Amino acid sequence: MYRQPTATRAEILEATGLNPASLSHCLKRLIDAGLVLRVGELEAKAGRPADLLRLNSEAGYFVVVDLEASPIRFAVSNLLGEIRSRWEEGDPAKAMEVSVIKRGVDMVCSPLSAQEREAVLAISICRPGLVDAEGRVTSVNLGWDRFPFGEKVREVLDKPVFVENAGRSYLLAEHWFGAAAGVRDCIFVEVGKGVGGAIFSRGEFFQGRTQAEFGHITVEPGAPDLCKCGKAGCMEAIASASNVVRQYLDRVGRPGQSVPSLTVNDVIDRARRGDPHALAVTDRAVRALGLGLSYLSAIFNPEVFVVGGYFLGSEDFLLPRLRAELAMHAREWSGSCRVVPCATGSDIGLRGAAALAFYRVLEDPDLLRRLSEPRMRLAPKTRH
Amino acid sequence: MYRQPTATRAEILEATGLNPASLSHCLKRLIDAGLVLRVGELEAKAGRPADLLRLNSEAGYFVVVDLEASPIRFAVSNLLGEIRSRWEEGDPAKAMEVSVIKRGVDMVCSPLSAQEREAVLAISICRPGLVDAEGRVTSVNLGWDRFPFGEKVREVLDKPVFVENAGRSYLLAEHWFGAAAGVRDCIFVEVGKGVGGAIFSRGEFFQGRTQAEFGHITVEPGAPDLCKCGKAGCMEAIASASNVVRQYLDRVGRPGQSVPSLTVNDVIDRARRGDPHALAVTDRAVRALGLGLSYLSAIFNPEVFVVGGYFLGSEDFLLPRLRAELAMHAREWSGSCRVVPCATGSDIGLRGAAALAFYRVLEDPDLLRRLSEPRMRLAPKTRH
């Protein structure tokens, strides 16, 4: 019922494999609790018309936070990941401060009624770095090694807190609401401040013995581009936004000089207009990404690569080049592999955090009980 | 009980989570059937001594076949993968001929008694190429696309036939009997006629949307080394045995010339003695492998890489170089990752096929019933 606007009993029977009596029992309870709504009837060829059922999108809320975005974004989402209110914190450097997170959560909840506040089930945060099951964060770029971020945040908030890596959250958003909707084998690649992402393989998050930051795969052994991770020639050292700008400044004779006003988008614009230095730099970034993606393709053979970050807005210019590069190194597989821009826009982190929260609630007996027990419900404000 | 020579009831209780009454019931049945043997007693501190139980290694046999080896190897193994009789077929070009397989199976079974023949549960074949669940084979090197190999072989043999890819079989052999015994995250890399292998991730064979031949990952974009797969600069195009020989002949001024007597081991020997051309060629192969392994390391972070093929016999010379190369590109992870030569020797394919067969029997209700039903049993010939 999360997947589609309405469902019939027959569809739910087929999807769940429950027997009709069990399903009737469950549905009655969920309808009585206000979690499932009867929203219409579907005329049947014979017999009674079938009820059209819908998840009550307002049966619960989440506070969702995207600490990877700048500015940092806070929102209240309903059960289905639709945004109900927003708050932004301008200074991304403050993303690490627990007091800033606490204030953002308070601010975004301030327009809520007491009843709505009561219906907030959890706070779901997506953020840079690898996040383990206990909410500890490891990040080459931040220099963190299993920093107990989740614990620190839980100390100041009075609801359950879920923490997830931004790449995984973005992938969830695209898998549920975006360019990889329903695709079981898809890889999200974020090319921005860093290069990273997440992998869905056979319908589940892939993880090896430990989580990995695939932006730190060496794509140009012997390259002079030093990486924060201590190696050289990583995908990130060549293709991240700041590294594209760095290489451009090196080529136009201002090496090491900081030009705060020059962004990766400026470099891409210059490449588009034929600036040979900008073209050389963006081509090198695309070659590095294409090669890195070809490794992932060889191993996972995803149906879809969803690309986010600075590719958005320049996808007409960058994506054909990336596809050609990938095809060159993954010829055997690329025929069936699409490379597409992400589709959930700048709310990607918030919507991913909401999808994650819904899943975590399903896995948590206490929260699930809270969600499905009879009590006053808010009526849906919008149809979706 | 497959994992260790003897086990006590207490150990089995702990490993299975069965309750004591169920376990007694099961064990009685298996002991009555002759599948489990009481082989001794372990004195207890208090109470009755504990029975030492052992799987009857002779309760069933497999015919195991390694079509990747040259010469092609046939053997009869007992339930525990111990080889009981052997046969070899000299001409590896015949590995594709069903009649050759049929004759090899007949030959290797000819020393068996009627009772032993009756106890042969299945024929387990490991072979080059990717093998799907139906035994269809796809191989860049053979130019096969889902060739119905399993079906063809089943037509001429009167026992169940299991077919598996050589890399996976080799990995199973090493996981059960060799250098990665009991390791849940390990990768087998065969560097021989081709470059390939298999991946165990979190205790299971890893597979993406489709199986992949990771020897065809591009490690040197733009390299002139053409690969059978149609690309250039693949790991295999640089590091396979014949490609090492090719590069050496190119460098010493006999390009394209076939020198049938010169093997990859000769090139490695010359490198060892300081021949600069041989050294350049082996170093390049090791660099290509190290880079390819670093990608796998970044994604899977295995505990162990087990390396087979021409590395065997030259591991003192090649492995330290490979480890250094891997460490350079996978610095974050390499601290906890071992790179070791395979330990099951030239029987690796046969033992892998036997391990595979045991697993397939456990998954097949008919074969499992046949194995565990009461009937005449052969006595074990050796303790292990």
- Residue in chain B closest to A234 (alpha carbons) equals B329
**In the predicted structure, residue A58 carries a pLDDT above the cut 70:** yes
Question: In what side-by-side order are the strands of the sheet with B161-165?
Answer: B83-89, B72-78, B61-66, B120-127, B161-165
Q: Closest by alpha carbon to B360, among B160, B178, B127, B204?
A: B160
Q: Which of A226, A332, A334, A336 to mutate to test the interface with B (most CBs of B within 10 A)?
A: A332
Query: pTM for the whole thing?
Result: 0.87
Percent of chain B with pLDDT over 90: 66
- Could A208 and B329 be called an inter-chain contact, meaning their C-beta atoms sit closer than 8 Å? no
Q: Which of B145, B217, B289 to mutate to test the interface with A (most CBs of A within 10 A)?
A: B217
Distance from C-alpha of A229 to C-alpha of A216, rounded to nearest angstrom: 7
Please check whether residue B253 touches A, CB under 8 A. no
DSSP-derived 3-state class of residue A98: helix
Place A365 in a pLDDT band, splitting at 50, 70 and 90: confident
> How far is the alpha carbon of B209 from chain A, nearest alpha carbon, in Å?
6
Count of pairs with CB atoms under 8 A, one residue in A, one in B: 101
pLDDT, residue B378, reads 63
Q: Which two tokens stand for residue A345?
A: 């826009």
**In the predicted structure, residue A67 carries a pLDDT above the cut 50:** yes
Cβ-nearest to B214 among A213, A230, A299: A299
Domain spanning A181-343: CATH 3.30.420.40: yes
Domain limits, CATH 3.30.420.40, in chain A? 61-171+346-372, 181-343
Please, are residues A330 and A291 in contact by the beta-carbon 8 Å criterion? no
- Strands B36-42 and B50-55 turn out to be antiparallel
- List, for residues B248-281, the tens digit of each pLDDT value: 999 998 766 666 789 999 999 999 999 999 999 9
Q: Which two tokens stand for residue A335?
A: 């025929």
* Residues in chain A within 8 Å Cβ distance of B298: 212-214, 216-217
- Could A298 and B231 be called an inter-chain contact, meaning their C-beta atoms sit closer than 8 Å? no
Q: How many CB atoms lie within 10 A of CB A292?
A: 28
- List, for residues B139-197, the tens digit of each pLDDT value: 877 888 899 999 999 999 999 999 999 999 999 999 999 999 989 999 999 999 889 99
Using CB atoms within 10 A of its CB, is residue B12 exposed (0-12), middle (13-18) or buried (19+)?
Answer: middle
Distance from C-alpha of A37 to C-alpha of A30, rounded to nearest angstrom: 8
Angle (CA) B259 B265 B266, round 5°: 50
Please, what sign has the CA dihedral across residues B328, B330, B334, B339? negative
Angle (CA) B7 B11 B13, round 5°: 125
Q: Closest by alpha carbon to B199, among B221, B217, B172, B218?
A: B172
Domain limits, CATH 3.30.420.40, in chain B? 61-171+346-372, 179-343
Please check whether residue A285 touches B, CB under 8 A. no
> How far is the alpha carbon of A337 from chain B, nearest alpha carbon, in Å?
11
Q: Which of B219, B286, B299 to mutate to test the interface with A (most CBs of A within 10 A)?
A: B299
**CATH code at B61-171+346-372:** 3.30.420.40
Please check whether residue A302 touches B, CB under 8 A. yes
**In the predicted structure, residue B323 carries a pLDDT above the cut 80:** yes
DSSP-derived 3-state class of residue A233: coil
* Residues in chain B within 8 Å Cβ distance of A204: none
Please check whether residue A230 touches B, CB under 8 A. yes
Please, are residues A249 and B360 in contact by the beta-carbon 8 Å criterion? no
- Name residue, tokens 């046949």: B370
Domain spanning B179-343: CATH 3.30.420.40: yes
ipTM: 0.85
Distance from C-alpha of B102 to C-alpha of B155, rounded to nearest angstrom: 10
Q: How many CB atoms lie within 10 A of CB B20?
A: 10
- List, for residues A181-204, the tens digit of each pLDDT value: 989 999 999 999 889 999 999 999
What secondary structure does DSSP assign to B244-272, as a single string?
Answer: HHHHHHHHTT-TT---TT--HHHHHHHHH
> How far is the alpha carbon of A25 from chain B, nearest alpha carbon, in Å?
33
Q: Closest by alpha carbon to B168, among B356, B382, B374, B364?
A: B356
> A66 pairs with which residues across the strands?
A73, A126
